[in-house]
């Protein structure tokens, strides 16, 4: 489930100049106690997901934090540290950069606009945002194709100019329109609708669609229609602000995977991920959102079914993952299907998931970005949703 590395990782290393390097062994980690009030599920050992977190720390992540919600019980589990200088343990109230988990929030707002009759899934980019994408994409790429990554649009994060701008001016405040322009100067990867490829440009465009239809930015509309009604008080969009407000985990990266040095990259301007990966949240807020979505509280049943329907050919070669409309569908070894999204942004790797009906949800975060995210997700969902690892 790990995305291919792109200039985002290299770009942000420049933001830690002056912060210095902290040298720790790649396998170092301090086990933190389970969160207060942890109650084991009665039908299996409570240690399965904990073992996954502990293993992530043994592999080199400074810390790991998870929360599961099921049978009326909330379990907070952690391992390692939230900050390697203070040695603070991770806590469930700590915020982090959620990366591409942002996409599920964007997709939900888009589908709510469809439900309200203000947008159609088969509307083209040209219908809503004329002139933003040149032909042939303008009149052939639909809202549905953006949602399920079958547009063929070039991923703007691969354009070296994004890195060049961040290097020369780390305070530069990117807009979605600016990021889409980088992508629009590249040819389509394939004719729209004929193949599948994950592209961050799809969701940056969808954030522009939200603003065009509602007159409010994607951040304002998500806050107004999702965050406030659901009481997600610890989730917000930072815009171009480099700081994470309130209690938070520190994020770390390794400039050279072959070396033990890690860099603190907690503080940076995330606008290079505008509309597709810039949200800040907590494991509890992610679980509450996914639970509400999968319980049918946010979308009509017809549109929720569409959202959760796998896209043919998505994640080719994987037996575990498929992509719907803004959701990653993961099938466990015991046959349980979960719906959510993965997120990876400099300093953090995140996962949000839940079962249909919203009765069981689990989210986790690592405050590192160099481990095998897909492998950890597979182990975590099997640990949480099956009786054994």
What is the domain count for the chain? Answer: 1
**Alpha helix (H) ranges present in the chain?**
7-13, 48-58, 102-115, 125-128, 137-140, 143-148, 160-168, 176-184, 200-214, 218-222, 228-230, 283-294, 301-307, 373-385
CATH number of the domain that residue 85 is part of: 3.40.710.10
pLDDT confidence of residue 257: 75
Does residue 1 fall inside a structural domain? no
pLDDT confidence of residue 387: 64
CA 348/CA 344 separation, integer angstroms: 6
Q: Which of 111, 202, 147 is nearest to 325 (CA)?
A: 147
The secondary structure of residue 224, as a DSSP letter, is I
CA 200/CA 154 separation, integer angstroms: 9
Does residue 203 fall inside a structural domain? yes
CA 178/CA 139 separation, integer angstroms: 21
Q: Are 181 and 153 in contact (CB under 8 A)?
A: no
207 carries an active-site annotation: no
| Chunked mean pLDDT (size 10), the chain, 389 residues | 37 30 34 33 64 97 97 93 97 98 98 98 97 92 98 97 93 97 97 98 98 98 98 98 98 87 96 97 98 98 98 96 98 97 97 97 97 97 81
Does residue 2 fall inside a structural domain? no
- Token duo for residue 281: 């949240």
Q: Which of 234, 201, 205 is nearest to 218 (CA)?
A: 205
* Residue span of the structural domain in which 181 resides: 7-385
Q: Which of 89, 95, 77, 76 is nearest to 30 (CA)?
A: 89
pLDDT confidence of residue 47: 81
Chain-centroid distance of CA 379 in Å reads 18
- 68, 79, 100, 250: the catalytic one is 100
Does residue 319 fall inside a structural domain? yes
């Amino acid at each position: 489930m790990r995305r291919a590395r792109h200039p985002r990782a290299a770009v942000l290393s420049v933001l830690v100049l002056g912060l210095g390097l902290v040298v720790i062994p790649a396998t170092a980690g301090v086990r933190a106690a389970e969160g207060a009030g942890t109650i084991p599920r009665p039908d299996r050992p409570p240690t399965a997901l904990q073992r996954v977190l502990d293993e992530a720390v043994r592999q080199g992540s400074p810390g790991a934090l998870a929360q599961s919600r099921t049978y009326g019980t909330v379990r907070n589990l952690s391992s390692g540290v939230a900050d390697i200088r203070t040695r603070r343990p991770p806590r469930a109230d700590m915020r982090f950069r959620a990366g591409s988990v942002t996409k599920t929030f964007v997709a939900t707002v888009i589908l709510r606009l469809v439900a309200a009759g203000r947008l159609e899934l088969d509307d083209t980019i040209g219908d809503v945002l004329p002139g933003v994408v040149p032909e042939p994409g303008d009149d052939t790429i639909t809202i549905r194709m953006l949602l399920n990554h079958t547009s063929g649009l070039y991923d703007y994060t691969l354009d070296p100019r994004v890195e060049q701008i961040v290097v020369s001016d780390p305070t530069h405040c990117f807009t979605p329109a600016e990021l889409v322009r980088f992508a629009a100067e590249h040819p389509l990867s394939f004719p729209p609708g004929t193949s599948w490829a994950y592209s961050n440009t799809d969701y940056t465009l969808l954030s522009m669609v939200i603003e065009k239809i509602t007159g409010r930015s994607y951040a304002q509309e998500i806050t107004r229609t999702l965050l406030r009604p659901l009481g997600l008080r610890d989730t917000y969009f930072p815009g171009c602000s480099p700081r994470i407000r309130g209690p938070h985990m520190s994020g770390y990266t390794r400039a050279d995977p072959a070396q033990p040095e890690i860099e603190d990259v907690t503080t940076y301007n995330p606008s290079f991920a505008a509309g597709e990966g810039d949200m800040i949240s907590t494991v509890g807020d992610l679980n509450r959102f996914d639970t509400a979505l999968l319980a049918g509280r946010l979308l009509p049943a017809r549109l929720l079914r569409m959202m959760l329907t796998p896209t043919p050919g998505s994640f080719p070669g994987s037996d575990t993952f498929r992509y719907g409309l803004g959701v990653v569908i993961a099938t466990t070894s015991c046959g349980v299907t979960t719906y959510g999204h993965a997120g990876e942004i400099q300093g953090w790797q995140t996962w949000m998931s839940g079962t249909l009906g919203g009765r069981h949800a689990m989210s986790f975060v690592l405050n590192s970005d160099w481990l095998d995210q897909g492998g950890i997700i597979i182990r975590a969902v099997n640990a949480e949703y099956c009786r054994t690892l």
